[in-house]
Structure 1
């Protein structure tokens, strides 16, 4: 529909006019502002809009609107042929893997279905057979979700962080009484950092908790990171906000308890609401400390003087109960990159040159399936047994292969 007064297509019919409302419906948290799905969908919708307007792709691609048209792409310009062309665009020689193409197209397809329900479109063009025909077959794998820590890698990493933590804690606790105050603070900070790294590694290695359930997700306000009030060392449990959008207890096996207990004693958090894994980023901590002390009525000169008494802002935050945020999931990846390099771990993976967080969970899944079977592993991993069987189908295939080999050997051994 063209506006008779302007000769332009009404803004409400342009593709981008629907994006904010769609993303709000799909987002998480207050106002639908958070969530990884929202962030990823927003990125792919913008790419689709740019492609539709002729701003992406080959130099001779002019978009989906007629050359004589003088308007941005609208819903009237969409049909199954458009989505077929976009499927071709994604499947082109851009270096994308088969499953990645499927994932990117799925974001656009989901938006198309939403547009039908909301009255923007008359039909779900993106799901028609002719539209999806150019898409490659899905190989059943999720991008970047195939690394699994081997027992050798797990042992190498946990041994490294244990040695680092022991040395740092011993260096701090054996300081002479007359040591300079700032030197003692530096030693305590080094011990806290090493103990934090060890606690993070053993939780990722042995609990199979998803890193997004453990740490802060900047795109989801409900995921603020595990606090000390969420952990019961006596019961061996930890409350986490699960992927299924509800709180649940995760088990803490024995290898996790001692490092956590040692770390907590060293930190001595002023309240139970302190994050178990606070950020150690200097700029972030400086901002938090200065803002909080200013809110408490401290003048800037007094704040500078107070900060000068401490080797690190984290130690001042502990003394003044200025609760910093938890590290983020990206922060955990940076930590594991640093530790994997320092431990000189041999890693052979097409995407990750370090031990990624999800690899700890997947590696623990391998251990559980092999030791106790799919049912027990599914309960520990907080997944359905069907999904666990699918993810770890190579184990069953290997076991069946052994059975077949044994059967063949028995048959071959029978005299003919």
Structure 2
């Protein structure tokens, strides 16, 4: 295709190729970046066509022309108008506007490399002028669990597990089998939730490295085969796209060990944090038993012997999927409310997963400095210094105060 032919192409024709190049996994179909970029490209396509914006906005194609927008219609003035549109009265924060514009700018740069555009119009100073200044903060990534919040939450899930396990293990021998199943199920769920809370609170592992990401097939969630309780380590697929060992500190070992003993997973390939969603498990159990040659009536008869499909899956080694990162957020919302934790944060009314990691970062920087914290957090020291700069600022303030007091004396 010649440059002239590319310039006549509809903008949307390039989106899928761009997203495949930026996606992860086989065929470029996975990854959070791909999903977020696709959303913003769709919004941009609607805007250039005149379907977004003010009532008097008709798009970038001349009013007397009836066709879709093409690359010939793009120049720096178009991107300037889009920057102004993003920064308009839509309730978006400064850094969010910057983030949305970067998705479109990255696509524009790709179009230059592929020969669709002659210049990277989105990066020109005049195009970016209407954008608000980035305040340097990442949206939604500022919450950090305090020591008090961490203690309250871990104490709550500890007590919850003790009560559930005691209720299950002290049942009389003549208890109805279904009632025993209900007690075991409650204990398993409480133990899973406790293990999840402790891992998020003390390991500083990213929640996306720990659980399943539906948009990235490589992130299937940590399995028991990935964990060594004896060595105090856990293999996770890091943000840098490679497997690496993460530390399991002492507070995490006991909850994981007792949880594993209670569950007694059929194989090491079972997820450490399986979903308990009844709809998902019902479909999984029915399909797996059918694949094994079971008749539909026999399947329903077998399911009727269990109060929950999870217990059937456990006994028949029908491996469930791991909970997702969204599932973890739902669990923490439920537990934060039940534990009556006092939370003062503009974005989250619960203890969000990333807050556990950030809270551990605070502890490590204050106790051992930036170098050790960077190793534990799997980040560069430069990044850790930037994100926890308030700690150094406070320490320097103390030094200045001490110096002033010394002069006064």
Compute the TM-score of the two structures, normalised by the length of structure 2. 0.98
* Aligned residue in 1 for 2:87: 91
Task: Quote the residue 2:327 is aligned against.
Answer: 331
For residues 302 and 362 of structure 2, the distance between their equivalents in structure 1, rounded to whole angstroms, comes to 51
Give yes or no for the alignment of 1:367 onto 2:363: yes
Q: Give the alignment partner of residue 242 of structure 2, picking from 246, 265, 268.
A: 246
| Residue in 1 that maps onto 2:406 | 410
SS of residue matched to 1:66: coil
Alignment length, in residue pairs? Answer: 406
Shift of 1:12: 6.8
Could you tell me how far apart the structure 2 residues matched to 1:265 and 1:113 are? Answer: 53
For residue 232 of structure 2, what is the aligned residue in structure 1? Answer: 236
Secondary structure at the residue paired with 1:64?
Answer: coil
Q: CA–CA distance in 2 between the matches of 1:362 and 1:340?
A: 17
User: Which residue in the other structure is 1:160 paired with?
Assistant: 156
1:17 maps to 2:5: no
| Structure 2 residue 119 is matched with structure 1 residue 123 | yes
Query: SS of the residue aligned with 1:222?
Result: coil
Question: Residue 304 of structure 1: CA displacement?
Answer: 0.4
Where 2:391 maps in the other structure, the secondary structure is helix
Does structure 1 residue 181 correspond to structure 2 residue 177? Answer: yes
8 Å CA contact retained: 1:87, 1:135: yes
Please give the alpha-carbon distance, in whole angstroms, between the structure 2 residues aligned to 1:312 and 1:93.
Answer: 49
- TM-score computed with the length of structure 1 as normaliser: 0.97
Please give the secondary structure, in 2, of the residue aligned with 1:250.
Answer: strand
1:351 lines up with 2:347 in the alignment: yes
Q: Give me the CA root mean square deviation.
A: 1.2
Residue matched to 2:382? 386
Separation (CA, whole Å) in 1 of partners of 2:6 and 2:225:
53
Post-superposition shift, 1:177? 1.4
Give me the whole-angstrom Cα distance separating, in 1, the residues matched to 2:165 and 2:254.
14
Are 1:213 and 1:241, in contact at CA under 8 Å, matched by a contact in 2? Answer: yes
Q: Is the 8 A contact 1:11 1:17 kept in 2?
A: no
Q: Cα offset for 1:11?
A: 10
Q: 1:287 aligns with which of 257, 278, 283?
A: 283
1:270 partnered with 2:257: no
| 1:206 shift after superposition | 0.1
Q: Deviations over 1:314-360 (max 9, x none)?
A: 11001100000000000000000000000000000000000000000
Show structure 1 runs of 5+ residues with no match. 2-8
Distance 1:299 1:165 in 2: 38
Question: Aligned to 2:246, what secondary structure does the other structure show?
Answer: strand
Q: Which residue of 2 aligns with 1:194?
A: 190
C-alpha distance in structure 2 between counterparts of 1:343 and 1:30, whole Å: 42
Counterpart contact for 1:149–1:359, Cα < 8 Å? yes
Unaligned runs of 5+ in 2: none
Instruction: Report the Cα offset of residue 69 of structure 1.
Output: 1.2
| CA deviation after TM superposition for structure 1 residue 93, in Å | 1.2
